[in-house]
Chains A and B, each alone.
Chain A
Amino acid sequence: MHNLDQHDAATVQRTALECEAIAADLERLKMVIADAGDQLIASFNEVGVLSKQPTRSADEQRRLDRAVATAVTALQFQDMANQLTAHAQRRLTSLHETLSKLSDGVDPLLAHSRLQPVRQAGMGVGSIDLF
């Protein structure tokens, strides 16, 4: 193995950071999917029980409405999961380019943004700001 010069060492460090970021994206993805699954199962069970009742008290109707609302929130996981996977894919492409350049001895800069499109690590409801 050849000795890395200063330039190569910096690239390796950036590459390691990209790998770390991809791992974080995947971990977040795992949590989003797990959280959505838990919420959907809980909602499904609640709706399953309450919808079979011929009549419902006001409290039971509220619980049923709440279970449907929770399911609506949880079903948004696909959008968040898609963005996380797309972000990880962009990072992988960037890594691929970097490694290709490194092997040719060309300046390998990671061009893609580090801005994280999804910071949520679960399906808890997001914030609202009115301007």
Chain B
Amino acid sequence: MQSILAVDDSASMRQMVSFTLKGAGYNVIEAADGQEALEKARAQQVDLVLTDQNMPRMDGITLVKQLRSMHAFAGTPMLILTTESSDEMKAKGKAAGATGWLVKPFDPAKLLDVVKRVIK
């Protein structure tokens, strides 16, 4: 079973993401911010990272940068799921090494479609 690390400081968002991904057969590991996600990523390998941008302690772009610098996550797809929709922020995400930028709110079918396309 493929594992997805879902990172969001909003409990309701984590719930909606988990509901969607678990319903499609993925194993979901949840984290409430970038720092917690980094600690969980160090403990176990995941097949995809789906992260929010604006979070306390560590934001999504910083998390992507940190993970990209780790050998184990060099080729892992990383998607940023956020309310931020400016080109400026998207460019920062791309420069950090994100695989894609999804603007909230997400549609479950479209999220699953993107996950299937990028997960290895």
Minimum CB distance partner of A68 in chain B: B108
Q: Which residues of A contact B85 (CB under 8 A)?
A: 119-120, 126-127
Is there an interface contact between B19 and A125, defined as CB atoms closer than 8 Å?
no
Is there an interface contact between B103 and A73, defined as CB atoms closer than 8 Å?
no
Is there an interface contact between A76 and B102, defined as CB atoms closer than 8 Å?
no
> How many residue pairs bridge A and B at CB < 8 Å?
87
Which bracket fits the contact residues of B?
20 to 34
CB proximity of B103 to chain A, nearest CB, Å: 3
Minimum CB distance partner of B83 in chain A: A118
Minimum CB distance partner of B10 in chain A: A79
CB proximity of A95 to chain B, nearest CB, Å: 21
Please count how many residues in chain A sit with their CB below 8 Å of the partner chain's CB atoms.
26
Is there an interface contact between B104 and A72, defined as CB atoms closer than 8 Å?
no
Is there an interface contact between A126 and B19, defined as CB atoms closer than 8 Å?
no
Given B13, B86, B90, which contacts A76 in the complex, CB threshold below 8 Å? B13
B1-58, CB < 8 A from A: 8, 10, 12-13, 15-16, 19-20, 54
20 cross-chain CB contacts under 8 A: A72-B16, A73-B105, A76-B106, A78-B10, A78-B12, A79-B10, A79-B13, A80-B104, A80-B105, A83-B83, A120-B103, A125-B106, A125-B110, A126-B103, A126-B105, A127-B103, A129-B90, A129-B100, A130-B99, A131-B98
Complex A-B, nearest 5 residue pairs according to Cβ-Cβ distance, in ascending order: A126-B103, A76-B105, A79-B10, A130-B100, A125-B107
Binding site for A on B (CB under 8 A): 8, 10, 12-13, 15-16, 19-20, 54, 83-86, 90, 93-94, 98-110, 114, 117-118
Binding site for B on A (CB under 8 A): 69, 72-80, 82-83, 115, 117-120, 123-131
